[in-house]
Chains A and B, each alone.
Chain A
């Protein structure tokens, strides 16, 4: 029996903030299902791919006819993806971090009840101000989460914390849970 290919998806559930999917790869497939970012919207199964080049992003549309017809557009942030039926916004709110936040404007939603996707550079800033990647309004100062191959770490009040699967960490005003989903990859 052939093994089913699966991909790992990490989600951060942050109290009083939202749920955010974490993606670290340089190429992110977007579509209706079976992609890195799954939309609950009237889009094709694989609408396109976001490609990271340093701190910039490019959008490559997906056409089923021929690879030669694939068009790549460089994106200006903050900006919208050139998708006709859904408003997907990309931004790099923090001026000192290359982490990019992807949000879908209503009425469309991200799958898995997510509020946004974090296309992680190396750190995620969570705090009260709009320039944080995840805005927690009752926070009184920003926290920086460092995302590495081995996990997510952050420091708070002189202590260092590490997130792991299905664990909830409470540190001061921050309550965060890391959830890992294994989903079948699209062929």
Chain B
């Protein structure tokens, strides 16, 4: 084997004290750490982590850390906040009990899809718990599909369960041994021949079982290969769907590694060749200690994946052809699947000549099929049903599974030809790869296309005879012909407007265009928010998003809502003025009540929308909200009374009630029975405190506008008037107007809108490299 390069980042342990951070602190001068005379509070006596890590120090949730002192260390050389090694902060502290029967002992790792914990059941069973934090529906579907896979080289999935907070957890086999990433980090020059054979052949066997079961792993990397007391096990096969987290070397822990990603992933192709490619990369790394395509940035790595050829001179000549074939840019030129790869590996190891027969049809592969799996059913063998793949998908996943179905279906490959991307569906075209569900393309054209599609569907389902349809077509044609004199100029004008718009739009998009891989990845990240959710999950996710909103954003939104409410009040006032005008002359006497109501409604709307910005953060208790609402009502009542006084409107009229069994609280009224400011304040305070005023202004209410709250508010005002009469019909109209205006002005999230954030940690997609953060 050729000489193996030594990574520059490797620091021999024996040199660590001499050249490492300990040396900077005097440890190289034989200062003994166990010396009881040394004071931990003395920065000269203690290994100062702070010298290299300026990350925040905080107590965990619900666990108070005893902070004895806070001695500033002037000698500490602070690093930037964004360290090259981002801290691994888990959401759940050790000791937390989840799923009613598992107690988390410690965190194991954080991946792109969730956090993995080591937990022990009440009965003492050790398990790994993975909290699926994103893309949960596809994750869980994949996990459920793999729940009953059994193979000695696959990590067992025990169960999928939901905790009390509707978080999904995957209960997995816990493996105490290291993963290949850690092993490679400990062996920077590569593995020994025996270890190489053990890791590689068993990894291939595990992936081969997945492939024979109709699954594609799609996230093969050293971090997903585990050593379980000598047995290598492939993990995360039910969880990894798109490019996920990985540890790449001791110096970088990034979300979204590209080192093991096949070129065709950028085109949305997820065949078995993706796993073969990744296995080739892993083999290369096991042999040399480094990956074949590395770079300073993700873009550089991507370009190398797509264009560069691996340096095979450093590879043992026995494995060059195998790796070369694994790393072919064209997936069709690679080994068909992991079984073929394993077969080739065994042939090399045992000195046999590789067979040129298509390994997918090799009888030994059929013989090696897992129990209960018919190879013909999976599309293998001479009697394979070429339509099987389609049938399998259509049966397992009926219509309406959403745009992400294609991703999942791409993993359920069965037909030999399905090694290439899934043929059915739009996944072959980059434009059609759209896991977000977000429509692609130019919006006007899309609207026209949708309208044409809707019309086509309507036409097809139109219950008319062919003759009737022909008549309808003839009439429509005639109408078009008759109106040509204005239709043609209109269409011409629209075309003239559309062409510059189209050109400018494309120019702008071109400037903003990112590489295809990034786009794909960004789409994948965004797709987590578009999975179909239950109503409560959707609300919870959006509530989380609203809670994370900065104060400045809230203020800005309040400003916008307030302006909208003023516009709404203006529109209502205009309607009221028109109504008054129709019933007579429009003089100041008729306008004064309208001005009073408009001012009162506007005041109430602005105040309620402002308070609502704090209400949207959570679903806190109703009592405090009712109290706040009552306070707002008191202010509104004061404004209403003031406007009555300012505009010289009578406050002793309109006090008649439909019931007279109850005497109104006389203390609130003047001696002549007219309403006073306390009357108005009490009326609106009780009205606002009685009603759940936060409902109509909640951004995640069901509908933007509903008549029901308006009716309820007006009726409540009418009822309240029976006990605390105020001048009418102003009171009831104001109550209804407030409900109308606030609903229109309050922000609203469409129920089909995906939450922008599901978990704060994954809010932005980051690639952390050498103290630099690239937000994708």
Chain A interfacial positions (CB closer than 8 Å to B): 13-19, 94-99, 106-107, 109, 113, 115, 121-123, 125, 128-131, 137-144, 146, 153-164, 166-175, 177, 179
Contacts and interface: CB of A to CB of B under 8 A. Distances in A.
Given A106-B177, A170-B58, A156 B70 contact: no
Given A16-B108, A157-B55, A122 B65 contact: no
Nearest to A129: B16
A16 B68 contact: no
Contacts of B108: 16
Contacts of B13: 129-131
Given A122-B34, A137-B247, A157 B95 contact: no
Contacts of A174: 49
A143 B47 contact: yes
B90 A95 contact: no
Given A96-B32, A137-B182, 6 more contacts: A15-B107, A16-B108, A96-B33, A141-B21, A162-B65, A174-B49
A170 B59 contact: yes
A16 B88 contact: yes
Interface string B648-683: 000000000000000000000000000000000000
A171 B126 CA distance: 27
Contacts, number: 210
A173 B76 contact: no
A106 B48 contact: no
A171 B88 CA distance: 11
A125 B32 CA distance: 12
A143 B21 CA distance: 11
B69 A160 contact: yes
A94 B16 CA distance: 10
A157 B79 CA distance: 11
B55 A142 contact: no
Greatest chain A CB density within 10 A among B16, B21, B49, B118 is at B49
Interface in B25-60: 27, 30-34, 36, 40-41, 43, 46-60
Contact of B41 (A98, A107, A160, A175): A160
Contacts of B182: 137
Category for how many chain B residues contact A = 35 or more
A161 B55 contact: no
Contacts of B73: 158
Contacts of B83: 140
Contact of A142 (B22, B87, B88, B93): B22
B27 A138 contact: no
Nearest to A130: B13
A175 B84 contact: no
A155 B33 contact: no
Nearest to B229: A106
A160 B68 contact: yes
A168 B53 contact: no
Contacts of B57: 156-157, 159, 161, 170-172
B21 A161 contact: no
Given A17-B106, A106-B230, A164-B66, A169 B52 contact: no
A156 B63 contact: no
B63 A172 contact: no
A122 B36 contact: yes
A137 B63 CA distance: 25
Contacts of B43: 155
Given A160-B70, A172-B87, A153 B40 contact: yes
Nearest to A135: B182
Contacts of A163: 66
Greatest chain B CB density within 10 A among A15, A125, A146 is at A15
Contacts of A179: 94-95
A113 B21 contact: no
Contacts of B11: 129
The 6 A-B pairs at the shortest CB distance, nearest first, are namely A141-B52, A157-B50, A177-B94, A15-B107, A172-B55, A173-B87
Contact of A144 (B33, B53, B176, B186): B33
B681 to A, nearest CB: 49
